[in-house]
Amino acid sequence: MKRIQLLISLLLFLSAPVRADVMLLIHGYLGDANSWEKSGINDELAKKGWARAGMFRGSPQGPVLYVTDYKDAKNLVYVATLPSQAPVMVQADVLKNIIDIIQQKHPDEKLILVGHSAGGVVARMALVHHQPKNIKALITIASPHLGTGRADQALDITANHGPFNMVKSFVGGSDYNALKHSRGLMIDLRRPEPGNMLYWLNNQLHPDIAYSSIIRLNNNGATGDYYVPGYSQNMNNVPALQGRSSTFTTPTSHFLVRQDADTIIDIINRIND
């Protein structure tokens, strides 16, 4: 009798559909699709069975997908380049188009979004404003969900001060010019106050999916990093998401590191269990 039950269990296991996931990695401010390559994250994901499936680049006609031959891999990773200096809503609109293309290619799979820094806020905006279907989870890394004082500093630095702007442009060079062209985004990343973007976003109904916050840890043991304070990186502090996000602390700086791949995989395994 026990052998029969064991055989039945084995047959059910073998006949069950293989669990597969599709992941989309979303870079932060001044990043691009290669941010995940340069950090070593894609290499680590590939070692753990997550194949590179394709890369999205912008074009006048919209996002263009360059496909990789991932053969019979079950778990797939896409990366995308967004207009990272643009306001959050503009980036979220582009991201929605990318999500649509991925879901057309994988209609039976749910999508996991992973956003670094401002990319996590962009992903939340896409989820709230566009309400895409078949999303399994949102994982954010060092994202300013409750804003950052660095945005205010950037706005002060690039404020119009007449002829002095020419001096700042010369001294600051490309970094100053990048900030100047990012003023719309910096306004969006200011701390939530009635009437601004983050206040609106943080009080909207969010989809019923899994949420996870990867929070950086300073050398002194406090959460947060040079660019985004710890409380802002925690989605549980978003009024609409209180108590809904799992949290993971990682002792490193604001920028992507190879070890982030291990944390991402750990989170996905917990969600799938």
Task: Specify if 3 maps to a domain.
Answer: no
C-alpha to C-alpha distances, 192 to 87, 146, 199, 227, 244, nearest whole angstrom: 15, 6, 4, 16, 20
pLDDT the model gives residue 244: 98
pLDDT the model gives residue 20: 80
Residues 184 and 180: their CA atoms lie apart, in Å, by 9
CATH classification of the domain holding 138 = 3.40.50.1820
Are 96 and 162 in a shared domain?
A: no
Q: What is the pLDDT along the chain (273 residues), one digit of tens a residue?
A: 545 554 444 444 333 344 589 999 999 999 999 999 999 999 999 999 999 999 999 888 889 999 988 888 999 999 999 999 999 999 999 999 999 999 999 999 999 999 999 999 999 999 999 999 999 999 999 999 999 999 999 999 888 765 545 444 444 457 888 888 999 999 999 999 999 999 999 999 999 999 999 999 998 889 999 999 999 999 999 999 999 999 999 999 999 999 999 999 999 999 999
Are 104 and 231 in a shared domain?
A: yes
Are 128 and 221 in a shared domain?
A: yes
pLDDT the model gives residue 168: 47
Apex 112 CA angle, 228 and 85, nearest 5 = 45
Q: Which of 188, 213, 247 is the last residue of a domain?
A: 188
DSSP 78-118: EEE---TTS-HHHHHHHHHHHHHHHHHH-TTS-EEEEEETH
Task: Specify if 97 maps to a domain.
Answer: yes
pLDDT the model gives residue 143: 98
Are 180 and 241 in a shared domain?
A: no
Are 71 and 91 in a shared domain?
A: yes
Task: Specify if 13 maps to a domain.
Answer: no
pLDDT tens sequence across 215-241: 999 988 899 999 999 999 999 999 999
Are 135 and 157 in a shared domain?
A: no
Are 56 and 131 in a shared domain?
A: yes
pLDDT the model gives residue 164: 46
Are 45 and 157 in a shared domain?
A: no
Q: Which residue has the tokens 């905006």?
A: 125
Are 205 and 259 in a shared domain?
A: yes
Residues 228 and 82: their CA atoms lie apart, in Å, by 21
Task: Specify if 134 maps to a domain.
Answer: yes
What residue numbers bound the domain in which 53 lies?
Answer: 19-147+197-272
Q: Which of 161, 188, 215 is the last residue of a domain?
A: 188
Are 183 and 202 in a shared domain?
A: no
Task: Specify if 218 maps to a domain.
Answer: yes
3-state secondary structure of 131: coil
| This prediction's pTM | 0.90
Are 49 and 155 in a shared domain?
A: no
Q: Which of 162, 188, 214 is the last residue of a domain?
A: 188
Task: Specify if 6 maps to a domain.
Answer: no
**How many domains are contained in the chain?**
2
Task: Specify if 10 maps to a domain.
Answer: no
Are 32 and 155 in a shared domain?
A: no
